[in-house]
Amino acid sequence: MFRFFSSSAIIILFAFPVSAKETNLKSTLEATYNNNFLIAQQREKILKYNESVTQQLSVKKPDVSANLSQNLDESNGKYNNSANITIKQLLYDGGQSSNLVDAAKYTVLAERELLIKAEQDNLLKAITVYMDLRQAQANLELAENNIKVIEEQLRAANNRFEVGEVTRTDVSQTKARLALAVSNVETRKAILTGKSASYLLVVGENHGNLSTPPKHPEIPNRFSKAEKIAIENHPRILAARLQLKVSEYRIDASRGIFNPTIIGSITSKTGTSISSSTGATIQATIPLFNSGNLRSKKRAAINDKKISKHALDIALLTTRSNLQIYHSSWLAAVAAIKASKAQIKASQIAFEGMREESKLGSRTTLDVLDAEQELLSARSNLVTALRDEQVQAYNVLSEMGQLTTSNLGLEVQTFNSFSNNNKIEQTSPLGKARIGILEKLKNR
């Protein structure tokens, strides 16, 4: 007679085949990293902010312009040619340009942390859809297996009805339960189709034969240990801290707008009708009255810092709250796996006992069907617990800031967020200093 799978077989069942192509968790995450549009969008934002650093650095560099002209002298019919070249250099601006350069640098660093967060968020989505898909496949297999069990019971009920051991009511009850099982299979198929579509949306390609995922990286059993790691590493918090630093530099820059701005220039002229000459000029501009505009800018910069402080507080609170939820959910899932295995063992014994007792007439067909349903429910609970344990573990890793390509061992070409800064590094000591600051977090 057909028998249900054991609890250990359910774990193996958690990799239901759908095609000849094999898809494992590692390949799923690598495809997500390479294909996801949200990650690509954040990469482009970093390159954009890299250029803002270049633009701010250019303010402190010489500005060279040339002017060529030609005009006709009607008195003699000759053309007069002239040329001049002017070099301007910012000499002093109260620290505005230097502070704005530093603000731009730290903005790049903050955006880099947001890229890491985008990567972790989307890798977590990929893990979730992978586990959801495996759960849907396992539940479909259980539902199909349930039909076989009830069909066997229906054959037995018909045989016993023919010899007068049971009534037509018993046969009808079994048929009704079989119809419910068939309906459940169709529902499970629809769920599986939806999960496959979600996989395609997140990963960017269709899945194949899903293999059993490896054991997830180690999770601290103590919440306090996980919390400490999260506070030090989560990109949400690091980005908020860097944005606070940006606001501080902008306050310093706003103070500089009350100081004189001094620009030095050298102009050299030559032409056919004039003698060559070279002159130097130093121009100082001092703000005297601007209807409160400059002070308003300073107050706005101070408010930006307050906003950044609140953003950091929110980031810390969000991380702690999420981590506590996911960590407790993970511990609950671990306990649920153990409980579900015990439930399966007890339900299996009860089902087999009910079936044998029904043959002796001490149990009704409905009793057997109910026991079979309880066993199916226990096995479905184990499938859910296995899925939840994996997903909640990776949720914890994400909130700890540990769901990175290196920690997951992914073989991908990581994005070089400093790729369009080489020209700065090669041509300017200031650029080299900037790269040095950026490199502090490059290998974090």
Q: What is the CATH number of the domain that holds 254?
A: 1.20.1600.10
**pLDDT recorded at residue 418:** 65
CB 53 within 8 A of CB 430: no
Q: 49 lies in a domain?
A: yes
Q: What residues of the chain score a pLDDT lower than 70? A: 1-20, 74, 77, 273, 418-444
**Position 74 in a domain:** yes
With respect to residue 416, please indicate whether it lies within any of the assigned structural domains: no
What pLDDT does 14 receive?
47
Say if 444 falls within a structural domain: no
pLDDT in tens, 289-312: 888 888 898 899 999 999 999 999
Specify the pLDDT at position 130: 96
Domain annotation covers residue 424: no
* Whole-structure pTM value: 0.80
Neighbours of 187 (CB within 10 A): 13
pLDDT value of residue 289: 85
Q: Is residue 397 part of a domain?
A: yes
Give the pLDDT confidence score for residue 156 in this predicted structure. 82
Residue 422 lies in a domain: no
- The reported pLDDT for the residue numbered 435 is 46
Domain that holds residue 160: 7-406
- Provide the pLDDT for residue 436: 52
Number of domains in the chain: 1
Question: What's the pLDDT tens digit per position in 173-214?
Answer: 889 989 998 999 999 999 999 999 999 999 989 999 899 999
- Residues with Cβ < 8 Å from 378, sequence gap 6 or more? 340, 343, 344, 347
Indicate whether 418 belongs to any domain.
Answer: no
